[in-house]
Amino acid sequence: MKARSKFLIGSGIIVVTLLALAYVGFTQSKTYYHTITELSTLQGSALHQRMRVSGNVQAGSIDHLTGRVDFILIEQGKTLPVSYVGHDPLPDTFKDGAQALVEGKMMPDNRFVAEQVQAKCASKYEATPDGAPVSAPARNPGQTSTGTNARPSGY
């Protein structure tokens, strides 16, 4: 067999392996991003996927309970009750009126159970429209300037 065809077969094996790995990794970690308005229109399996939802924390809605923190996210007049069940302390930026991004799943009783909460103080961002730390090109603006308790894995 010619070297060229051997090389092509080898490449084929590598590419197929990587595609399989990519598919597995993809299904494990895909997260849907929805607005609160969209949530009410979701049906069937779409409701049970892992998702991220963002909104503002309704003033006075933060309720510290044993083992969880309840609050209400509001966006364009629509509200979403959220229970935060993660172990990490909530970020300092998480307070009334803050913009928050929650990650987790919808429960059948229309309550969102979040394992991660990121929050950003809204007023800060009105003051500086391009206030992300743009000078740190290798950093994610969302991470550097957000109080976050998301803890991505290493590597």
Applying the rule CB under 8 A, the residues between 57 and 86 that interact with other proteins are 64-69, 84
Task: Select from 13, 16, 25, 105 the one that contacts other proteins (CB under 8 A).
Answer: 25
x/- track of binding to other proteins for residues 136-155 (CB under 8 A): xxxxxxxxxxxxx-xxxxxx
Look up residue 5 and give its two tokens.
């065809």
Burial class (CB in 10 A: 0-12, 13-18, 19+), 70: middle
User: By CB under 8 A, is residue 118 in contact with other proteins?
Assistant: yes
C-alpha span between 116 and 139 (Å, rounded): 20
Task: Select from 36, 55, 73, 91 the one that contacts other proteins (CB under 8 A).
Answer: 91
CA angle 85, 91, 94 (to 5 degrees): 90
User: By CB under 8 A, is residue 16 in contact with other proteins?
Assistant: no
Task: Select from 13, 16, 24, 59 the one that contacts other proteins (CB under 8 A).
Answer: 24
Q: How far is the CB of 79 from other proteins (least distance, A)?
A: 20
C-alpha span between 58 and 55 (Å, rounded): 9
Look up residue 16 and give its two tokens.
């197929």
Q: How far is the CB of 55 from other proteins (least distance, A)?
A: 12
